[in-house]
Amino acid sequence: MKVHYMNGAGNDFMVLDARGRNLNFPQLANELCKLTDADGFMALDHSDTADFRLHFYNSDGSRGEMCGNGARCICRYAYELGLVGEKMVIQTDAGLVPGTRISQDIYRVQLNVPSILDLHRTSDAAYVELGNPGVPHSVTEIPGLCWEQREQLRSFAKEMRFHSAFPKGANANFYTWLSDDSIRILTYERGVEDYTLACGTGSGATAAALWAAGKVPSGVLLVKNPGGDLKITVEGHGEAITALFLEGPTEIVNVYEI
């Protein structure tokens, strides 16, 4: 069985074709992610409602509702397997996710819109859930944030990850403004229980919160993650977000036989 090692802006995954196979996904997630210290595991499967099904697991074996960079990577995986054309739809636990091949390396997915968007959940953070059931995120501004501050912020990141105000826990996103239309971000992810080089849903949730606060009037935000840049496009009217797009690079790093 072939396992592809992929990354999207540094957010890395072990990916396999599970169609027609009876596999223990939590066990595989735990074992395969240890081979490369990957953030997550993805299995492509049959779907009755979309082009294919995404089963996503964090590196600790816990199931995740959805993963933005993972969805972009599995779009490329499905395209290169010849399963889909340049447009596709993924079935995820958080809902259907349309994907588009922009170029050989660049893929875009339409993230699930927020089912919860609370700009004042705590004194420090907004709270956003993308999809239903939603992927939970806290969003906190840290003026002057540098990625080198990750250890200095670690205890605060863990506090936000397990904060009692977030019923399912949360991915903790910290950001600072770089210009009117770009931010630097650092994300501490649940299930990984550490910082990751990028978080697609975290970038999307942060952009959604900033758009709802009236701080992204153009609807387009460049999000600089430690592993690479992601482009978020927010569409909406009034206070309602009607569409949320995540675009960025993908890479096939290696292929393993197991």
Do 6 and 77 touch, CB atoms closer than 8 A?
Answer: yes
Nearest-angstrom CA–CA distance, 170 and 172:
6
> CB neighbours (10 Å) of residue 22?
5
The DSSP output letter for 123 is S
The amino acid that residue 55 corresponds to is H
Nearest-angstrom CA–CA distance, 44 and 55:
7
Catalytic site includes residue 67:
yes
Secondary structure of 142-159 in the HEC alphabet?
CCCCCHHHHHHHHHHHHH
Do 52 and 84 touch, CB atoms closer than 8 A?
Answer: yes
Q: Which residue in 33, 67, 73, 75 is the catalytic one?
A: 67
SS percent in the chain: helix, strand, coil, step 5: 20, 45, 35
Q: Which residue in 33, 73, 75, 199 is the catalytic one?
A: 199
The amino acid that residue 240 corresponds to is A
Do 178 and 224 touch, CB atoms closer than 8 A?
Answer: yes
Per DSSP bridges, beta strands 11-17 and 40-45 are: parallel
Cα 84 from chain centroid? 22
Do 131 and 65 touch, CB atoms closer than 8 A?
Answer: yes
| Cα-trace Rg, the chain | 17
Active site residues: 67, 199
